[in-house]
């Protein structure tokens, strides 16, 4: 039987990480873990509970008693918080615009990373996020850093929002994405950064299929 490897996919907002990670996982019959969904899930609960998002201790205590599950549903993944399906709600602008505040806290990240490493411990995993190659799975056999211009990323997310019926203003979205990238890159603990041994793919003028092909070629190289 071929070796089950770990694949880390990082990059800024709306670069195409989850889209290609999902396809790569499907092709390999691997487990796909969307770590951004986990940070979105705790942000959703904290906002609902009216927790001060700057209060690291309160957020950590909340997370400790929160069950976050990612369940495969055909081609899609559904996200559950304490048994409640929050898949759609965690993508709303109110959540998106607050996740980077919650995710900057060291205690929150350490707890999330422990959960993510537990999920990945048997290999056969595709995980996407901001710190997977640098911090969560430093020994991943394949590390990818996806990027694209902010203009292109905002365009893609805007189209996605329109498709899903989520309110969306292109200029606002562009500002929000740039702002989130800045917060994620400048935070002290496990910031968004390309791992030294990650392969960078600029997807600005690539199709989803082309990005997947590039990644699959790297995967097969490492599996040999
Ligand atoms: N290479 C690509 N070309 C065009 N659109 C893409 C590409 N990759 C992803 N998309 C689209 O861009 C949007 C954002 O992709 P997503 O996978 O959610 O990004 P991320 O997980 O990095 O935030 C989605 O609507 C997706 O269909
Ligand atoms: N490994 C990760 C994944 C996400 N995040 C945080 O979670 C937010 C949402 O991540 P996401 O991947 O769902 O965001 P999109 O790129 O899909 O918009 C990011 O902006 C980060 O603040 C993180 O800090 N570390």
Please tell me the pTM assigned to this model. 0.97
pLDDT category at 180 given cuts 50, 70, 90 is very high
pLDDT of 74 reads: 83
Strand-strand pairing, 199-202 and 68-73: unpaired
CA 36–ligand 1 middle distance (angstroms):
14
The single residue listed with the structure tokens 């304490």 is 82
Q: Average pLDDT in the 175-194 region?
A: 96
Residue nearest to atom 24 of ligand 2 (CA): 103
Q: Check pocket membership of 36 for ligand 2, CB cut-off 6 A.
A: yes
Nearest by Cα to 174 from 192, 194, 193, 152: 152
CA 15–ligand 1 middle distance (angstroms):
6
Q: Check pocket membership of 148 for ligand 2, CB cut-off 6 A.
A: no
pLDDT of 224 reads: 76
Q: Check pocket membership of 40 for ligand 1, CB cut-off 6 A.
A: no
pLDDT above 70 coverage of the chain, percent: 100
Q: Average pLDDT in the 122-128 region?
A: 96
**Sign of the CA dihedral with 23 first, then 125, 131, and 169 last:** positive
DSSP-assigned beta bridge partners for residue 31: 125
Beta strands (DSSP E) in the chain are 6-10, 31-34, 68-73, 76-81, 84-85, 125-129, 142-147, 199-202
Q: Quote ipTM for the complex.
A: 0.98
Beta strands (DSSP E) in 97-202 are 125-129, 142-147, 199-202
Nearest-atom index, ligand 1, CA of 19: 17
Q: Provide CB contacts within 8 A for 126, sequence distance 6+.
A: 7, 9, 21, 22, 24, 25, 28, 30, 31, 32, 33
The angle subtended at Cα 144 by Cα 18 and Cα 118, nearest 5°, is 70
In whole numbers, what is the pLDDT of the chain averaged over residues? 96
pLDDT category at 69 given cuts 50, 70, 90 is very high
Quick check: 67 and 86 in contact, CB under 8 A?
no
pLDDT of 190 reads: 94
Q: How far apart are CA 125 and CA 217, in angstroms?
A: 17
Q: Is the pLDDT of residue 193 over 60?
A: yes
Q: Show the domains of the chain with their CATH numbers.
A: 6-214 (3.40.50.300)
């Amino acid at each position: 039987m071929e070796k089950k490897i770990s694949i880390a996919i990082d990059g800024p907002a709306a670069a195409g990480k989850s889209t290609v990670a999902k396809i790569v996982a499907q092709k390999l019959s691997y487990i796909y873990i969307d770590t951004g969904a986990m940070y979105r899930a705790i942000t959703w609960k904290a906002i609902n509970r009216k927790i001060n998002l700057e209060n690291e201790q309160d957020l950590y205590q909340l997370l400790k008693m929160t069950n976050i599950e990612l369940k495969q549903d055909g081609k899609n993944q559904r996200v559950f918080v304490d048994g409640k399906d929050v898949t759609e709600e965690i993508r709303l602008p109110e959540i998106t615009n607050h996740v980077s505040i919650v995710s900057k806290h060291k205690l929150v990240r350490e707890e999330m990373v422990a959960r993510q490493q537990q999920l990945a411990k048997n290999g056969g995993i595709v995980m996407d996020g901001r710190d997977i190659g640098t911090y969560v799975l430093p020994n991943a056999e394949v590390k990818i850093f996806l990027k694209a211009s902010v203009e292109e990323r905002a365009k893609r997310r805007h189209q996605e929002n329109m498709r899903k019926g989520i309110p969306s203003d292109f200029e606002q979205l562009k500002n929000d994405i740039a702002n989130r990238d800045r917060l994620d890159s400048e935070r002290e603990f496990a910031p968004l950064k390309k791992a030294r041994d990650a392969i960078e793919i600029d997807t600005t003028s690539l199709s989803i299929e082309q990005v997947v092909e590039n990644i699959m070629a790297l995967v097969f190289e490492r599996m040999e």
